Amino acid sequence: MSKPLTILQILPALHSGGVERGTLEIARALVAAGHRSIVVSNGGRLVEQLVREGSEHITMPVHRKSLASLFQIRPFRRLLTELKPDIVHARSRVPAWIAWLALRKLHAKTRPHFVTTVHGLYSISPYSAIMTKGERVIVVSETVRDYVLQNYKRCPPESIKRIYRGVSPEEFPYGFTPEAAWLERWQQDFPQLKGKVVLTLPGRIARVKGHESFIKLIAALRHDWPQLHGLIIGGAEKAKAAYEAELRSLVNAEGLSEHITFTGHRNDMNQALSQCDLVLALRVTPEAFGRTTLEPLRLGKPVIGWDVGGVGEILRRMYPFGAVPAGNEAALVARVREWLAAPQLMPERDDFQLSDMCAETLRVYAEIAIAKVTLAQ
């Protein structure tokens, strides 16, 4: 980029999650490249980190999925007039509507450019269509590109830019081994895992994540592989507590109480994954990308999962053996049996680098900053 830019990213809040993490990653890259990075959200625990890393944060209630959010259009327009950003990058639907409606009333020659990122496979509706109104529409996988092209015919194909999410090799180093103190605590907390072949399902507990398929898989394998142990890494939010209770009942009904362990919520996913032998990715519905599949692969842990959506894209590219026809539980059992009989190591790969994601996003900013593009109607 020839001159420093001012980039304003807008999203509902900065609590946790993939969208929030991606926002911070791009903000960090902007600051490192000498640009001004501004984030507008309703706040959250990640604000402190964002500001510490050199960005500015402005708190606005842009998170409510209600008509009340329309009252934020004028304040946001005043903010744009004051800050004069070169680009507004919307990462979620309500903030995108606020930004787009605010931008439309500004003079075409001076208003900021508008970029959106489609992070998910949203419900198909006029409400979701706002995410395809950007001068550039960033999609996080080919799965999302196909979703946009099939369902939003008014979105020009040439405006779509696929930029895969990425992870840092520093954060997810191949062959990672935790510190001795952590290992000692882990062994004290989970002595039942000692000497076992550990199959793992990571991620928060929710119906779409495939926990029932995982439990059935352990049930199908445990007689032939008595050294097998299933590990469910992740907890349930309050609203999902009843579903976790259902899963625990299923574990007991299958006679697996000594063969499956629930760790609860953890903030040390890297360390926990390093203690596993095989990771499963069994989300029932397609994922836009599938970061929980990529992260263990980058650590050197093999992953077997459904060949659908972003998870399928990652597996086909990085570990084709792990791609199983979606929903075919018999094929899943057979594939895991095959792996258990002859465990395959995950070779070191440099696919899906965080540095590539950041560089490609900054290139998008540079391209539209120097081009005169009319705001999508």
Task: Tell me what pLDDT residue 336 has.
Answer: 98
- Same domain (yes/no): 93, 160: yes
Looking at the structure, tell me whether residues 135 and 41 fall in a common domain: yes
CA separation, residue 205 to residues 233, 241, 281, 294 (Å): 9, 9, 13, 19
Instruction: Identify whether residues 220 and 309 lie together within a single domain.
Output: yes
Question: Helix or strand or coil: residue 295?
Answer: helix
H-run or E-run covering 10? strand 6-10
For 47-81, how does the pLDDT look when each residue is reduced to its tens digit (9 = 90+)? Answer: 999 999 999 999 999 998 888 888 999 999 999 99
Residue segments in the chain with a per-residue pLDDT below the cut of 50 = 1, 373-377
What is the reported pLDDT for 18? 83
Predicted local distance difference test score (pLDDT) of residue 16: 78
pTM, two decimals, is: 0.89
Concatenated DSSP letters of 129-163 = HGGG-SSEEEESSHHHHHHHHHH-TTS-GGGEEE-
How are beta strands 136-139 and 56-59 bridged, if at all? unpaired
Residue 248 and residue 108 in one domain = no
- Domain range enclosing 270: 180-341
Q: What's the pLDDT score for residue 377?
A: 45
Q: List residues bridging with 138 in a β-sheet.
A: 117, 161
39 and 161 share a domain? yes
Q: 147-163: per-residue pLDDT in tens?
A: 999 999 999 999 999 99
Whether residues 274 and 363 share a domain: the answer is no
Does 298 lie in the same domain as 185? yes
The answer as to whether 173 is a domain residue is: no
Taking the CA atoms of residue 124, residue 128, residue 129 and residue 134 in that order, the dihedral angle to the nearest 10 degrees is -140
Closest-CA residue to 263 (of 194, 205, 197): 205
Residue whose C-alpha is closest to residue 259's, from 307, 205, 233, 223: 223
Instruction: Give the CATH number for residue 235.
Output: 3.40.50.2000
**pLDDT for res 323:** 97
150, 189: one domain: no
User: Within 13 A of 214's CA, how many CA atoms are on the CB side?
Assistant: 34
Task: State how many domains the chain has.
Answer: 2
| Longest distance between any two alpha carbons in the chain, whole Å | 70
- Are residue 91 and residue 226 in the same domain, yes or no? no
DSSP category for residue 206: -
Residues 150 and 184 in one domain: no
Predicted pLDDT at 2: 67
